[in-house]
Amino acid sequence: MNDTMPVLMIELANAHGGVEQVIDAMIEAAIAVEYPDKVIKFQPFKFDLIAIPDFEYYSVYRDLYFSPSEWGRMILKTASNCKVCLDILDLYSCEILRSNCEQISFIKFQSSILENYEVLTALRSIDLSDKKILVNVSGLSLDRIDATLEELGSFGAQIILQVGFQSYPTHPEDLGLQKIERLAARFPEYELGIADHSDANSAFAQIAPLLAVAKGAKYVEKHICISRTSAKFDGSAALEPQEMQNLAEHLKLVHASSQAQFVPRSERTYLDSTIQVPVAARMVSAGSLLSDVDLLYRRTAQSGLKRHELFELQRRRYILAEPVDTFNVVAAENFRSAKVAAIIAARMKSTRLKRKALLEIGGTASSVRCLRQCAAARGVQQTILATSDIEEDGVLENVAREAGVDFWKGDKDDVIDRYLGACKHYDIDVVVRMTADNVFASPEIIDFLLDSHFATGADYTAAADFVVGTASEIINREALQRVADHFGRAEHSEYMTWYFQNNKDRFKVNIVDLPKDWVGDFRLTLDYEEDREMMDELAHRLGKKERVYALDDVLSVLRSDPALAGKNAHIGLRYKEDKNLIDMLDHQTRMK
């Protein structure tokens, strides 16, 4: 619908019967209609220039004739009150236009005169550049309308396409409403209008123009008469003055209804007063993220965040700063910005591949490569190498320094306790868990999992399937603390995954499908000599020992060289293949 008020074109037509006093009364009635954008339209023509004597209405046309001076008086009177439009029907219309050009804002071409060469030629001697031309396209195909617009373009005036033809009255199926949207699609640069000649005794006579406006028409042409019972001609389609005023009021309402903000204030107030907002289904601890399982939806006198607002805050990496009690709403002030750190566990105690944390891969220590890969993730604010507090592992502080990351020493066996120590010392809320064996840890996967973790309000997030050695886990510090509080010591926290995935009734576990291009049957973790040889060659293929490697580049090399990828493909993962280990972990990590 148009942003501006529809234009109401009040057509005087021929209901006056050629009587000057009647047309004067009609002019007064049209002027009296209160409407902000109103045009009064006249039909000046001369009987012997519009028809020849054999035409059935020739004598009627003679009776309807007004002289040039009479037209001049009527046009001047009307133009002092509102805009004027002239129907151009013959050469006489052209002369009336020429004589009163300054008072005329619009002219109209019926479709029946669009091929009238003598009229169109006469009009070319009149400057129409400041006029608007309504072109009625009734009876014309879309292609013919195209051609007509091209022909009329030389007038240099704004053209308005109009539907509706002079049938008194016009049946609803003949109104042309179905054309408006098609014309708008075919000719989007042109404004549209309707000439409505519906049966004025029907309620539809006031409904049809509103439907046209709703479909996109900006100009509504409607006949007026003083009284339908006394109108000599055209009365069946003409509205009486009060009916015309009623139509004007309805047009104002239709316009107002389409111009309100998308969500009006009253509508927003209604929603705010009735919406069922999220409230805590149970007490939720500080340091947690909220998911749908934590929430109920109720009407309440409390003022809190709507669901989409709450989850948008979390997507922006906010976390609960304080507990939220049962049935309490969640407010913005309950949140604070979360600090995210990648904590990489590393030790020097490896037995299968001695001192692997210091072994070079592509000219750089394996653990340094892992640390740099993790630090490259856009969502990681801090990277920490976390090792034990025994003397043997002290050498790893030099590794952290070389990689430009922070260093933490903690419990040698309880990795969860070690992680919590680092979290408390560095004030970390959300942990990206990685082990230093994962030389080609993927910053892309870290960011993908972080996005999902915050969006879903998880406690723990991991990938469903991945290239071994590329994927991390995301864990809230608050969830790590719950494990520590329950077990006292997490004796098997080298296998930290089990404490969460084995307790899905206690933790919000979010298992994520990675993009298919990031998944493959390769091994990129450092545990055996074959791993070192394969990854060392891979790093040399990728080049630049200081470089952070993109996952797509790493996988592209492996996919293009099956022999390289196959060097360590025979090595399995103990935590997936050792049934005794799996059974023990299932039992020992279960929170009963």
User: Which of the following CATH numbers is that of domain 340-588: 3.30.70.260, 1.20.1260.10, 3.30.1130.10, 3.90.550.10?
Assistant: 3.90.550.10
Nearest to 422 by CA among 341, 322, 320: 341
Helix, strand or coil, per DSSP, at residue 91: helix
Contact by Cβ (8 Å): 157, 129: yes
In the structure encoding, which two tokens stand for residue 500, read together? 């969460």
Helix axes 396-403, 366-375, angle to 10 degrees: 40
Per residue in 185-227, pLDDT (tens digit) is 999 999 999 999 999 999 999 999 999 999 999 999 999 999 9
CATH 3.20.20.70 domain span(s) along the chain: 7-259
Per residue in 47-73, pLDDT (tens digit) is 999 999 999 989 999 999 999 999 999
CATH 3.90.550.10 domain span(s) along the chain: 340-588
- Asked whether the predicted pLDDT for residue 409 surpasses 80, the reply is yes
Q: Which amino acid is at 406?
A: D
Helix axes 20-32, 241-259, angle to 10 degrees: 30
Peptide bond into 169 cis (omega under 30): yes
Kind and range of the H or E run holding 558: helix 551-560
Q: What's the chain's average pLDDT?
A: 93
User: Whole-angstrom Cα distance, residue 426 to residue 553?
Assistant: 33
- Asked whether the predicted pLDDT for residue 1 surpasses 70, the reply is no
- Of the pLDDT bands very low, low, confident and very high (cuts 50, 70, 90), residue 159 is very high
pLDDT at 125: 94
pLDDT at 331: 96
- Of the pLDDT bands very low, low, confident and very high (cuts 50, 70, 90), residue 271 is confident
The domain made up of 7-259 has a fold known as TIM Barrel (3.20.20)
b/e map of 443-458 (b: 16 or more CB within 10 Å)? Answer: bbbbbbbbbbbbbbbb
b/e map of 349-359 (b: 16 or more CB within 10 Å)? Answer: eeeebeebbbb
Percent of residues, the chain, with pLDDT higher than 70 = 99
Phi and psi dihedrals of 480, rounded to 5? Answer: -60, -40
In the structure encoding, which two tokens stand for residue 303, read together? 């003022």
In the structure encoding, which two tokens stand for residue 263, read together? 């969500």
Domain 265-337 has CATH 3.90.580: no
pLDDT at 549: 94
In the structure encoding, which two tokens stand for residue 30, read together? 């049209």
pLDDT at 545: 66
- Of the pLDDT bands very low, low, confident and very high (cuts 50, 70, 90), residue 349 is confident
- Of the pLDDT bands very low, low, confident and very high (cuts 50, 70, 90), residue 2 is low
What is the DSSP secondary-structure string of 292-323?
Answer: GGGEEEE--SS----HHHHHHHHHTTEEESS-
In the structure encoding, which two tokens stand for residue 75, read together? 């046009």
pLDDT at 477: 98
Helix, strand or coil, per DSSP, at residue 458: coil
pTM recorded for the entire structure: 0.66
